[in-house]
Each structure stands twice: as C-alpha cells, then as structure tokens.
C-alpha cells in the first residue's frame, strides 16, 4: 500500500516538474517570439476617480483582455479637469503604446472647450468599444412624466421647466440642448455635481426631466425612461419608445461612446496589436453579457470611422458650447481688457510692488513691530483685488453669473481686512514677539524646496533617502545607525505600499528615465 502511494507520489512529482519546466520553457520562448510589444505592463489611463462607468469599463477591459494576451494591465486613475490631466499624462509620455487613454465623448466637450483642436489632434482615436444611447428619464410618481406631455408643457411655458443633470457643457447638457432645439422648446438646465445627485433631485420632484444613460434608471422603480435616442428600441428596455416613434426625426443617434485612444505617432505594429486585441475583447461573451444587461451597446469601431465621429462630435460641441456662452469669445470693453493678457500682468506687478513698498515703509516707520501683520493683511487685499479684476471678464450666467459668488466673498474680505488694518494700527502696543529661531524655519523651507527640485532629476526614492538623512542630521540627530535604518525603512515602506500596492506613480526622475 505504502509502495503504491509512493509510486503515485513520484509520478505526480515528475508530472509537476515536467509541467513547471514546460511553463518555464514557454515563458522563456514567448518573449523571444514576440519580443516587440508588449514587454512591460500597459497602463490604462482613466480620467475619473475609481468607480465611474469609464473606470469600470477600463477595469473590465483589463480583465477580459488578459484572457487573450499575456500582459499586465494596470488601471491608473488620473482625475482632473474633465480629462485634461489624464490627456497630458498620455501625450507627455513617449508614443510607444504603453499608455492607453480610456476616453469618452465627454472628453471631446472638454477638449474643445479648453484646448481647441490641439488636444484632439494629439491623440489617435484607436477604437470605440461601446455606445449607449442618451435618454430622457422622468420621475414616474410625478404627473408630468410622459414625453408628449412634457413637450406640451414646455411649449406652453417657455424657459420654466427645470431639467436636471450633470455639469453644464457636458454631453448630457448638450444633448438636452439638441432635444430642445429639435422641438423648438426652451427649458432650464440645472447642473448637479454628478448624475447621481441630479437623479436625487429628480426623485425629490425638483425637476421634470433628467438626461443621461438608460442604465441610470435601473435601480429605482420610480424612475421612468420617457424616450430614448436610438434608431430602434433597446433590447434591455423594450417598453421605452424612441424619439423617432414619438414623431421626431434627427434625434435617433445621440449617444455616449467610450473607447480607447493612443498618442499620435504610435508605431503601426503596436496599433495592429491593439486592433487585434480590441476585436477579440469585443467578441468575448463575458464582455458582451456584462454590458448587455445594462442596455449598453457593445461595438467595435476602428480608427478611421472613430476619428471621423470624433471630428463630427467636436463640431457639434463647439457650436452648442459657444451658443450657451461656455466657450468665451474675445474679451470686449475696457473692463475685460484690464482682466486679460499683458494689462493684467502689469497690474499684478504694480499691486505686488505697492504691497512690498508699503510693507517696507511700515517696517522703517515707528510701526515696525506690526510689519508682519500688515503684510498678511496686504496679501489678502492684493489677492482680493486681483481676483476681483479677473472676475470682470467672466461671462454672464442665466440667473446668477459665475462672478457673483466669488465677488460676494471678495466684498466681505476687503472690508474685514480694512477693519483689521485699522484695529492693528490702533493696538500697536500689544504685539507678541516672534520665536527665536526663524532662521531654522527658513533654512528648512529652502531645504524642502531643494528636495522637491532634486526629486525631478533623481526621482522620489533617491532624493527622499537623502532628504531624511539630511533632515535628521540638521535637527541634530546623530545616531548614524538609526539614521540609515529610519531612512531605508521609509523608502521601503513608500515603495511597497505607495508604489507597488497603491500604484501611486512616484516620479523616478528624469535621470533614471534617460538611462533606462
């Protein structure tokens, strides 16, 4: 019995060894067969924080794609400025295909608004993978929730209906504008911080309609999809009529798309590699069923057609963003001229010089004890005035313009500071002494600035290692063994936790990037 067991053991051990060797051979062979691309992990750059639909798309894509290719996909969230931050990350990296930009139609709106065609031309639009039609969602518990009644109501009282949705100038807003144009109606767009918050307002009966993705209506039975902007009814929502059925032509193709873009100039063989992968993923049953349930249309649109689509979208966005005053025209009038360009720079310089010379005057006067206080007050005043001047150039909004609230704060800051200035001059006597070692603080600040500058060249790890050692030394800590242990453990900690586990892309420094 024992013999048999041992035999079996030997057999399994041999098999296991054989298998391992096979895998090793495979691993060794594979890179040499297709050493070209990819030879390191691929970053999928997502322009929102984790949790949104585009983030989920990127992560799901990474999961499905790794079935077909032996490469590690790392999703990197680079939120900010509606995609500009992520875009800059991609276009500042080399065009080697290792940074895949996960894009949506909303990016186009932002690119058009901020960078014009420069940003659009910096990318090559590799593949569109998903498109979901836009729809109008209403609150089923309100009387006004069917599309024809909403239109009728809007035509009766132009500009009175409240529509809720995400930020102004985004895709959903522009879709609403198009719908209004098509029906010749007018309503108010009340923007919320996110689609979710706008839906809450819809449920709270603060608005009549919401524009967004059909998927948004899934979780709550009170939400009713009034009309969808697709050529035919959606499989997932068979009861929802299309605009075409409701008698409106021209609204059958308003959809949100998601896809991937690469930096322009990526080598053709890399693009081909991606094309093959995108085809495989979009045909994958797991991919199709995951999105299909939410009414999202999985498709594959290749570069040429996708680029044409992007161009078309950009034109439409530009038209509506100009119309609704979000893209600002050239500055007009004397006030606007002060707020822009060279005039503004000269003005800023003058203000700062005034601030410094007044402070110096106070310092040389009998009031020298309050110089610091006066400088702080002066700082607040200078900032207030500069911001006030800038706000002259903001366009007028519908009810309360973008300048109103900042000006409110400024108009409170200025008198409060003047009051404080008056009080400060009156109570010169009760001024406390500053600490004895301002020099140490100033040295330390200089030291920190130096550290940040060195980090650009030497990278985070090396410069931080040096910084901690130098910092400990400067403050008078002399146990050398501990100094090295502390510094090395911090480096190890930040490498393992921040760099490796949390994927915080700590800078490696230009020096290292040149060498490797």
Partner 1 sequence: MAELFGNLIDGLTFVTGIIPILTITLGVIMGIIAGATPGLSPSMGVALLVPFTYAMSPTLALILLVAIYIAANYGGSITAVTINAPGTPSSVVTAFDGYPLTKKGKPGLALGVSLVASTVGGIIGTLILIFFSGPLAKFALKFHPAEYFALAIFGLTTVASLGGKNWIKAFIAAMFGLLLNTVGIDPISGVSRFTFGFSFLYDGFALIPALIGLFALSEIFKQLEGGDFSSQQVAPGKQEWPTASTYWKLKNTIMRSSFMGTIIGIFPGAGATIAAFISYDVTKRMSKTPEEFGKGSLEGVAAAEGANSSSVGGALIPLLTLGIPGSASTAVLIGALMIHDLTPGPQLFISNPDIIYGLLASLLIANIILLVLGFFGARLWIKVTTIPKTVLFPLIFAVSIIGSFAVRNSFFDVAACLAFGIFGWLLRRYNYPVAPIILGMVLGNIAETNFIRAVMMGGWTVFFTRPLSLGMLVVAAASFAVPLIQARKQK
367-386 residues near partner 1, rule: CB under 8 A:
372-373, 376, 380, 383-384
Contacting partner 1 within 391-410 (CB under 8 A): 391, 394-395, 397-402, 404-406, 409-410
Under the binding rule (CB under 8 A), the answer on residue 484 touching partner 1 is no
DSSP string, 486-516: HHHHHHHHIIIIIIIIS-------HHHHHH-
Contact string 74-113 vs partner 1 (x = CB under 8 A) = -xxxxxxxx-xx--x------------------------x
What is the smallest separation between the CB atom of 237 and partner 1, expressed in angstroms? 13
Backbone φ, ψ for residue 347 (5° rounding): -60, -45
Applying CB under 8 A, does 512 fall inside the site for partner 1?
no
Smallest distance from partner 1 to CB 66, Å: 11
- Chain positions 246 to 285 lying near partner 1, rule: CB under 8 A, are none
Q: Which of 91, 236, 369, 506 binds partner 1 (CB under 8 A)?
A: 506
User: Residue 80 or residue 267: which is nearer to partner 1 going by CB?
Assistant: 80
For partner 1, the closer CB: 230 or 384: 384
Locate all alpha helices (DSSP H) within 204-332, ordered by sequence. Answer: 268-282, 285-292, 303-323
Whose Cβ is closer to partner 1: residue 234's or residue 326's?
A: 326
Q: Is the dihedral of CA 280, 284, 290, 292 positive or negative?
A: positive
Secondary structure (H, E, C), 122-146: CEEEEEEEEEEECEEEEECCCCCCC
DSSP 368: G
> Would you count residue 16 as binding partner 1 (CB under 8 A)?
no
Q: How far is Cα 201 from Cα 477, in angstroms, rounded to an integer?
A: 58
Contacts of 393 (CB under 8 A, 6+ apart): 328, 331, 335, 336, 339, 340
Residue 398: DSSP 8-state? S
CB of 201 to partner 1, least distance (A): 8
**Judged by CB under 8 A, which of 146, 486, 508, 512 binds partner 1?**
486
Adjacency order of strands within the sheet including 42-46? 73-77, 42-46, 99-104, 255-263, 123-133, 297-302
CB closer to partner 1 out of 192 and 243: 192
When the beta carbons of 77 and 104 are compared against partner 1, the nearer one is 77
Number of residues that bind partner 1 (CB under 8 A): 117
267 vs 380 by CB, closer to partner 1: 380
Element spanning 211, H or E: strand 209-212
Closest CB to partner 1 among 275 and 379?
379
Task: Give me the residue label for tokens 């706008």.
Answer: 198
CB-wise, 56 or 331, nearer to partner 1? 56
12 vs 422, beta carbon nearer partner 1: 422
User: Strand 99-104 to strand 209-212: parallel, antiparallel, or no bridges (unpaired)?
Assistant: unpaired
Q: Which stretch binds partner 1 (CB under 8 A): 25-33, 205-213, 250-258, 264-272?
A: 205-213
Q: Which of 71, 188, 236, 337 binds partner 1 (CB under 8 A)?
A: 188
Shortest Å, Cβ 463 to partner 1: 10
Measured CA to CA, the distance from residue 193 to residue 81 in angstroms comes to 14
CB 467 within 8 A of CB 475: no
DSSP-assigned letters across all residues of 24-93: HHHHHHHHHHT-SS-SSPEEEEESS-TTSHHHHHHHHHHHHHTTTS---EEEEE---GGGHHHHHHHHHS
127: Cβ–Cβ under 8 A, 6 or more apart, which residues?
A: 259, 260, 274, 275, 278, 300, 301, 302, 303, 306
Smallest separation, CB 387 to partner 1 (Å): 6
- C-beta closer to partner 1: residue 219 or 238: 219
Residue 114 makes contact with partner 1 by CB under 8 A: yes
DSSP state of 245: T
Q: Is 417 in the site for partner 1 (CB under 8 A)?
A: yes
Site for partner 1 in 433-472 (CB under 8 A): 434-438, 440-441, 444-445, 448-449, 452, 460, 464, 467-468, 471-472
Where does this chain touch partner 1 (CB under 8 A) — which range of 26-34, 93-101, 184-192, 251-259?
A: 184-192
Binding to partner 1 by CB under 8 A, coded x per residue (else -) over 291-320, reads --xx--------------------------
Within residues 138-157, the interface with partner 1 by CB under 8 A covers none
User: x/- contact string, 164-183, with partner 1 (CB under 8 A)?
Assistant: ---xxxx-------------
Cα separation of 346 and 339, whole Å?
11
Pick the binder of partner 1 from 221, 268, 285, 329 (CB under 8 A).
Answer: 221
Query: Among 50-58, 230-238, 267-275, 303-311, which window interacts with partner 1 (CB under 8 A)?
Result: 50-58
Nearer Cβ to partner 1, position 267 or 471?
471
Greatest C-alpha distance within the chain: 105
> Rounded CA gap, 87 and 76, in Å?
12
CB of 169 to partner 1, least distance (A): 3
Q: Sheet containing 162-165: give its strands across.
A: 188-191, 162-165, 209-212, 135-139, 223-228
């Amino acid at each position: 019995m024992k013999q048999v067991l041992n035999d079996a053991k030997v057999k399994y051990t041999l098999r296991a060894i054989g298998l391992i060797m096979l895998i090793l051979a495979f691993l060794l062979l594979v890179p040499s067969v297709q050493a070209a691309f990819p030879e390191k992990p691929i970053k999928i750059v997502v322009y929102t924080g984790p949790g949104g639909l585009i983030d989920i798309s990127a992560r799901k894509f990474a999961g499905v794609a790794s079935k077909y290719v032996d490469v590690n996909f790392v999703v990197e969230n680079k939120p900010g400025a509606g995609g500009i931050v992520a875009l800059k990350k991609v276009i500042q990296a080399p065009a080697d295909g290792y940074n895949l930009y996960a894009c949506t139609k909303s990016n186009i709106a932002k690119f058009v608004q901020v960078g014009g065609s420069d940003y659009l031309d910096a990318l090559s639009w590799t593949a569109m993978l998903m498109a979901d039609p836009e729809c109008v969602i209403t609150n089923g518990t309100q009387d006004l929730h069917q599309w024809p009644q909403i239109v009728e109501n809007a035509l009766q009282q132009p500009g009175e209906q409240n529509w809720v949705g995400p930020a102004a100038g985004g895709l959903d807003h522009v879709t609403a504008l198009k719908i209004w144009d098509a029906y010749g109606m007018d309503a108010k767009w009340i923007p919320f911080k996110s689609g979710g918050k706008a839906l809450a307002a819809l449920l709270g009966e603060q608005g009549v309609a919401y524009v967004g993705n059909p998927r948004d209506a899934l979780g709550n039975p009170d939400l009713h999809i009034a009309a969808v902007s697709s050529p035919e009814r959606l499989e997932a929502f068979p009861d929802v009529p299309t605009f075409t059925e409701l008698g409106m032509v021209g609204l059958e193709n308003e959809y949100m798309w998601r896809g991937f873009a690469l930096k322009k100039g990526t080598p053709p063989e890399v693009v081909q590699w991606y094309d093959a992968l995108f085809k495989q993923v979009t045909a994958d049953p797991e991919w199709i069923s995951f999105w299909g349930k939410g009414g999202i249309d999985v498709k594959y649109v290749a570069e040429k057609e996708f680029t044409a689509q992007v161009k078309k979208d950009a034109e439409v966005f530009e038209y509506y963003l100009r119309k609704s005053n979000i893209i600002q025209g050239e500055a007009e009038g004397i006030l606007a001229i002060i707020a822009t360009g060279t005039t503004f720079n000269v003005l800023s310089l003058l203000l700062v010089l005034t601030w410094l010379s007044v402070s110096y005057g106070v310092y040389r006067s009998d009031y020298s004890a309050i110089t610091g206080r006066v400088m702080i007050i002066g700082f607040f005043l200078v900032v207030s005035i500069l911001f006030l001047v800038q706000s002259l150039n903001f366009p007028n909004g519908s009810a309360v313009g973008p300048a109103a609230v900042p000006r409110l704060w400024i108009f409170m800051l200025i008198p409060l500071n003047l009051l404080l200035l008056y009080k400060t001059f009156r109570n010169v006597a009760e001024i406390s002494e500053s600490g004895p070692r301002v020099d140490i603080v100033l040295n330390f600040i200089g030291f920190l600035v130096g550290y940040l500058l060195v980090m650009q060249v030497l990278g985070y790890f090396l410069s931080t290692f040096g910084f901690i050692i130098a910092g400990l030394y400067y403050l008078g800590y002399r146990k050398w063994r501990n100094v090295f242990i502390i510094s090395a453990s911090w480096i190890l900690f930040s490498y393992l936790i921040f760099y490796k586990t949390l994927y915080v892309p700590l800078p490696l420094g230009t020096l290292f990037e040149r060498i490797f």
